[in-house]
């Protein structure tokens, strides 16, 4: 079933040269992201995934069972959780170890892509160039992938371990498939089986690798040119991959609906979805070419107008580029293949099935840009072939080669600089707000970061208040900013204003325990213990596992009992002390109280 492809033969470079290339790839990949080793757990999903999540901590049966059942935050990623559990076994909750593993896996991916690029570039360009040309063209392609600033989010953010792990198995699956289609049926079957297993591991690491069967089919068309074997044979080969992709799609939809709120079509209808999808297809290639003003969040606007320039231009651009590449497919098949590959890989994260507040994320480019990196390596091969055919002079080719090296240096410097932004929550969200001052979530997250920092003084709390009020002005329907604003005002002891903010939060989240918990909190701070008790009791009734609220309620009951005793109402005081003892016995009690903390 496999084998029968002779297009993958490639010139052999000396072992020392290949070793030198791999050493350069690994060293540059590690150095580009080394600043992230100083990073902390961020308030951007890291807190929920790791800091507040004890279920993944270890590799015992209870942890493994949780990993294969969990749909935390809308993701089913058991293989990724296994690597994170191993991190905890080896280094506990030290974020340095988590960052190190992210970087090392990414370096492995760069090496895998180097071997993949050598094979695909040889299949596309032929073997009329010397071995060193293919070697260094693949090295350039690998480095462009590895150190591009769009990689930073996937590598420097602990939560996105799923990107690098799924990427590793994705690349391994494709590489093994390329070995499987070589003209050696006996060995080909073993490579094929390994490729299917790697595909399963990729999809169990992150569902966005679902397009892999279509990617393999695209490779069969170009550059492998296997259509001569017949469509039936080629499609039958993809059945195991397609079955895995179908199962992954079902699991992803279940996890998505259990973990997050899917964006309803009532809010963003079919026309908006088409506009969002076209925006996705153009956004990432453009950022690949021009990686400036990157951000951890490109916020989905409250309303998507398909006729506005922001969405109409990408739609027209995608249609025009696609049409032009189809017309030019015989002269430049690589361009259409890279463009089609990018579109395929972005389909699962486009607007068709959407969840979250993002219009785009840099991390979605981790695998989708591989085709463009191959085009970069192919451009070097074309330059060297042009010199060989005396179309270009040696001086021009040297200049182009030096430009390629300079591009790698500039990309690596950009990634290194951007990695520093991911070292702390405050640096991350200051950078995001500077990149897009109209991003309401970025403003909210920066304000919340300042509020939750124990070292924040009055000046920083006032700054937080300003950011949160700006977030509310931009998106008044979102409850979280009212909550954080109430905390900031309470910390400044502006209790009347804090109560207004908390009540506005409760208007938007009427069933949440956070609203009554915070109203009780400020009454405890004001020593209005009798008024605090019903609010704190309501919060615990809505959610029993709130150690901080339980601590405040015990305090309020005890202080109110003291007040009643001093007033001679001993019986009532005893009843409250008995109630406090019962509350204490019902669950854990935090010694930190409810100051501060955001939901």
pLDDT at residue 1, rounded to an integer? 55
Query: Exposure of 383 by Cβ count < 10 A (0-12 exposed, 13-18 middle, 19+ buried)?
Result: buried
Q: How many Cβ atoms are within 10 Å of 94's Cβ, its own excluded? A: 12
pLDDT at residue 31, rounded to an integer? 97
Query: Exposure of 547 by Cβ count < 10 A (0-12 exposed, 13-18 middle, 19+ buried)?
Result: middle
Of 245, 427, 223, 247, the closest CA to residue 332 belongs to: 223
DSSP conformation class of 424: S
DSSP codes of every residue in 226-284? -GGG-HHHHHHHTHHHHHHHHHHHHHHHHHHHHHSPBPPTTTS-HHHHHHHHHHHHHHH
Q: How would you write the pLDDT of the chain (599 residues) with one tens digit per residue?
A: 566 555 555 557 778 889 999 999 999 999 999 999 999 999 989 999 999 999 999 999 999 999 999 999 989 999 999 999 999 999 999 999 999 999 999 999 999 999 999 999 999 987 778 888 899 999 999 999 999 999 999 999 999 999 999 999 999 999 999 999 987 766 778 999 999 999 999 999 999 999 999 999 999 999 999 999 999 999 999 999 999 999 999 999 888 877 666 777 778 889 999 999 999 999 999 999 999 999 999 999 989 999 999 999 999 999 999 999 999 999 999 999 999 999 999 999 887 777 788 899 999 999 999 999 999 999 999 998 888 888 888 899 899 999 999 999 999 999 999 999 999 999 999 999 999 999 999 999 999 999 998 888 899 999 999 999 999 999 999 999 999 999 999 999 999 999 999 999 999 999 999 999 999 999 999 999 999 999 999 999 999 888 999 999 999 999 999 999 999 998 999 999 999 999 898 888 876 545 555 55
Question: Can you say whether the dihedral through the CA atoms of 201, 204, 207, 213 is positive or negative?
Answer: positive
Angle, CA of 74, 79 and 82, to the nearest 5° = 105
3-state secondary structure of 4: coil
pTM (two decimals):
0.92
CA distances from 520 to 487, 551, 557 (A): 12, 11, 12
State how far the Cα of 469 lies from the Cα of 415, in Å rounded to an integer.
32
State how far the Cα of 45 lies from the Cα of 26, in Å rounded to an integer.
29
Tokens of 551: 């601590």
CA atoms within a 13 Å half-sphere pointing along the CA-CB vector of 231: 0
Extended strands (E) in 444-503 = none
CA 9 to chain centroid: 36
Is residue 432 within 8 Å of 152, Cβ to Cβ?
A: no
State how far the Cα of 535 lies from the Cα of 482, in Å rounded to an integer.
18
Query: Exposure of 353 by Cβ count < 10 A (0-12 exposed, 13-18 middle, 19+ buried)?
Result: middle
pLDDT at residue 260, rounded to an integer? 67
Q: Sort strands 358-360 and 298-299 into parallel, antiparallel or unpaired.
A: antiparallel
State how far the Cα of 42 lies from the Cα of 46, in Å rounded to an integer.
5
Extended strands (E) in 253-334 = 298-299
Phi, psi of 74, deg, nearest 5: 80, 20
N-to-C CA span, the chain: 54
Element (H, E) at 360: strand 358-360
DSSP codes of every residue in 146-190? HH-GGGHHHHH-GGGHHHHHHHHHHHHHHHHHHHHTSS-HHHHHH
State how far the Cα of 121 lies from the Cα of 384, in Å rounded to an integer.
13
Helical pair 185-203 and 161-180, crossing angle rounded to 10 deg: 160
State how far the Cα of 311 lies from the Cα of 198, in Å rounded to an integer.
37
State how far the Cα of 400 lies from the Cα of 420, in Å rounded to an integer.
31
3-state secondary structure of 524: helix
């Amino acid at each position: 079933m496999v084998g029968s492809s002779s297009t993958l033969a490639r010139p052999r470079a000396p072992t020392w040269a290949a070793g030198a290339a791999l050493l350069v790839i690994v060293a540059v990949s590690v150095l580009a992201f080394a600043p992230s080793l100083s990073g902390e757990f961020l308030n951007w999903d890291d807190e929920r995934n790791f800091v507040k999540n004890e279920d993944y901590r270890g590799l015992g049966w209870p942890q493994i069972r949780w990993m294969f059942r969990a749909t935390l935050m809308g993701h089913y990623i058991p293989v990724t959780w296994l690597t994170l559990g191993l991190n905890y076994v080896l280094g506990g909750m030290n974020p340095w170890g988590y960052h190190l593993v992210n970087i090392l896996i990414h370096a492995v991916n760069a090496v895998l892509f180097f071997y993949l690029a050598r094979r695909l570039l040889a299949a596309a360009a032929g073997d009329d160039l010397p071995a060193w040309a293919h070697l260094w063209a693949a090295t350039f392609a690998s480095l462009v992938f590895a150190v591009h600033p769009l990689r930073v989010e996937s590598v420097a953010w602990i939560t996105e371990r799923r990107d690098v792990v799924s990427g590793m198995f994705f690349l391994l699956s494709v590489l093994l498939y390329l070995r499987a289609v070589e003209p050696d049926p006996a060995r080909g079957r073993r490579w094929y089986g390994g490729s299917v297993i790697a595909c399963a591991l990729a999809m169990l690491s992150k569902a966005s690798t679902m397009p892999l069967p279509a990617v393999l089919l695209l490779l069969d068309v170009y550059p492998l040119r296997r259509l001569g074997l017949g469509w039936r044979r080629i499609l039958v080969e993809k059945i195991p991959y397609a079955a895995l992709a179908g199962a992954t799609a079902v699991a992803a939809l279940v996890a998505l609906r259990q973990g997050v709120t899917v964006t309803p079509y009532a809010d963003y209808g079919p026309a908006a979805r088409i506009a969002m999808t076209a925006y996705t297809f153009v956004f990432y290639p453009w950022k690949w070419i021009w990686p400036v003003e990157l951000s951890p969040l490109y916020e989905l606007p409250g309303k998507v107008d398909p006729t506005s320039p922001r969405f109409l231009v990408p739609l027209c651009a995608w249609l025009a580029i696609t049409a032009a590449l189809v017309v030019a497919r015989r002269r430049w098949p690589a361009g259409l293949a890279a463009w089609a590959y990018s579109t395929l890989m972005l389909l699962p994260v486009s607007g068709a099935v959407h969840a979250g507040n993002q219009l785009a994320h840099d991390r979605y480019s981790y695998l989708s840009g591989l085709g463009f990196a191959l085009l970069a390596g192919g451009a070097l091969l074309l330059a060297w072939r042009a010199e060989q055919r005396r179309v270009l002079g040696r001086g021009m080719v040297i200049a182009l080669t030096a430009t390629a090296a300079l591009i790698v240096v500039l990309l690596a410097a950009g990634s290194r600089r951007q990695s520093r932004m991911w070292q702390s929550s405050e640096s991350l969200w200051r950078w995001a707000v500077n990149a897009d001052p109209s991003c309401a979530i970025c403003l909210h997250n920066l304000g919340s970061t300042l509020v939750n920092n124990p070292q924040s003084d009055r000046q920083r709390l006032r700054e937080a208040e300003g950011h949160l009020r700006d977030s509310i002005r931009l998106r008044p329907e979102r409850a979280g900013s009212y909550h954080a604003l109430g905390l900031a005002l309470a910390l400044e002891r502006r209790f009347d204003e804090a109560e207004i903010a908390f009540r506005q939060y409760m208007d938007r989240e009427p069933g949440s325990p956070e609203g009554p918990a915070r109203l009780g909190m400020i009454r405890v701070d004001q020593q209005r213990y009798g008024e605090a008790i019903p609010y704190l009791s309501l919060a615990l009734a809505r959610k029993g596992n709130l150690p901080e609220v339980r601590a405040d309620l015990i305090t309020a009951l005890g202080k109110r009992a003291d007040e009643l005793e001093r007033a001679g109402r001993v019986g009532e005081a005893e009843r409250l002390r008995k109630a406090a003892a019962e509350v204490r016995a019902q669950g854990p009690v935090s010694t930190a109280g409810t100051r501060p903390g955001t939901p």
